[in-house]
Structure 1
């Protein structure tokens, strides 16, 4: 039996696990980002203020991204466009929206954009790892049809296997593959970023972009609910662009004089 996507009722309002999980991921990300920001010389108040702008932008862009590429459906169901609690938000859309706000805010307040992105990157990929479990509760972001034997061979607990029984067929738990990949990326970034003379400013963020986009390309290829552009998966196209772009910018910036990540705000970017 599938898990109930509704956590509880608050009066006549249904509170979904999807929203609870996403909100918890964001709160944890903000907490970790403010701690690291303080160590790097960024006032936590600046991070809080920036988040107040970044969160709405990320949410709106995540939904717009999804709706635009599913316009064939939403053009006939306009009342469902705002129903984000049922799922249907795109991670890449949210990242684009949040990135635009971070650049705007940092430029306005004379904060190193690259340093802020470095501080945020590990917390963002952790939030992505947690957020995928919201898709799990909604039975979204699943993969191709598979067998019960295959899922049992992954040594998954019964409650995950049962949740992967969608419309009478077992599905590849692609939400889990991406969650694990993102969690591993978090561990790698957190382990490496405090090593002296390893990362220059901007390189933690660029490593995050390359890491996530590389894994997302392969996971997306296993999904059956991908947003499509013609016969191509949009997320795979974007993953290739981001991976190549991140590597290219990394190499370009490494050739120029840049401050080390651990020097924080004592140097400009």
Structure 2
């Protein structure tokens, strides 16, 4: 996860220079977003497991025992970014565009932590099925837990997000393709679809009403909201093109 954070920061700084955003802005944002992102990820998890934590309040802060949710971290990170942009007078949608690919790359890499820990996997499967996917032997062997083979859902999410990342990196510098905010919107829509289907295979989902997977419900909401935002901004707001950058003179002064 530490490597993933460093990778995301490096990607944001590299792209930010081309869009007239100073590296210090991304480093300063990182110092706020990462710790508060972990707090948000924990709060999200605790909320949807409240019956347990209500009986064991001393475990609420026991993050070392597991229990964080990526959606909670992303939501907290988004809130921090919006406040940060307001304070620094930076264009929030452009910042989201610049940061989104790095976040996606971090998620791709971070899922391999689940692989190492043999967690966040899918339901039981067979050796024959895993071999039919032409997976390397080290993945197949790691998916054997207590004598049972499981679906490598970490790999499914990582692989399909890699495809999404390649598409973003291949298309974002094309002229007159993305308006500001649309790289981020593309990321949200892509990840929502991937997470919806992968979540349906996992065995460790959080539930509401005992039958609706929280991440699937949130994925549907985010996809619809992102699509509506895309249409609204294209029709009503008519934002600048992504390649136009911030419009600030780089390097700029805050004096």
Q: TM exceeds 0.5?
A: yes
Q: Shift of the alpha carbon at 1:211?
A: 0.4
Unaligned runs of 5+ in 1: 1-21
Deviation string 1:108-133 (CA, Å, 9 cap, x unpaired) is: 11100000000001110110011111
Q: 2:96 is matched with which residue?
A: 117
Is the Cα–Cα contact under 8 Å of residues 87 and 138 in structure 1 kept in the other structure? Answer: no
> Mapping of 1:199-214 within 5 angstroms?
199-214=178-193
Q: Matches of 2:51 and 2:203 in 1, distance apart? A: 17
Q: 2:196 is matched with which residue?
A: 217
Choose from 29, 35, 42 the match for 2:8. Answer: 29
Q: 1:240 is matched with which residue?
A: 220
Q: Shift of the alpha carbon at 1:165?
A: 1.5
Q: 2:251 is matched with which residue?
A: none
Q: CA RMSD in A?
A: 1.4
Q: Matches of 1:123 and 1:60 in 2, distance apart? A: 20
Deviation string 1:37-60 (CA, Å, 9 cap, x unpaired) is: 111001111111111111111011
Is the Cα–Cα contact under 8 Å of residues 87 and 135 in structure 1 kept in the other structure? Answer: no
**Matched pairs, number:** 246
TM-score with structure 1 setting the length: 0.88
* 1:216 counterpart SS class: helix
> Mapping of 1:1-269 within 5 angstroms?
22-230=1-209, 231-255=211-235, 256-266=237-247
TM-score with structure 2 setting the length: 0.92
* 1:170 counterpart SS class: strand
Q: Which moved more, 1:152-161 or 1:79-88?
A: 79-88
Q: 1:11 is matched with which residue?
A: none
* 1:143 counterpart SS class: coil
* 1:57 counterpart SS class: helix
Change (3 A) 1:73 1:167: farther
Q: Matches of 2:109 and 2:66 in 1, distance apart? A: 15
Q: Matches of 1:84 and 1:24 in 2, distance apart? A: 20
Q: Shift of the alpha carbon at 1:137?
A: 1.4
* 2:125 counterpart SS class: coil
Deviation string 1:80-137 (CA, Å, 9 cap, x unpaired) is: 4444345421110000000000000001111000000000011101100111111111
Q: Matches of 1:75 and 1:164 in 2, distance apart? A: 33
Q: Matches of 2:246 and 2:88 in 1, distance apart? A: 13
Q: Matches of 2:221 and 2:101 in 1, distance apart? A: 21
Unaligned runs of 5+ in 2: 249-255
Q: Shift of the alpha carbon at 1:35?
A: 0.9
Deviation string 1:148-180 (CA, Å, 9 cap, x unpaired) is: 110111111222112112233111111110011
Change (3 A) 1:252 1:125: same
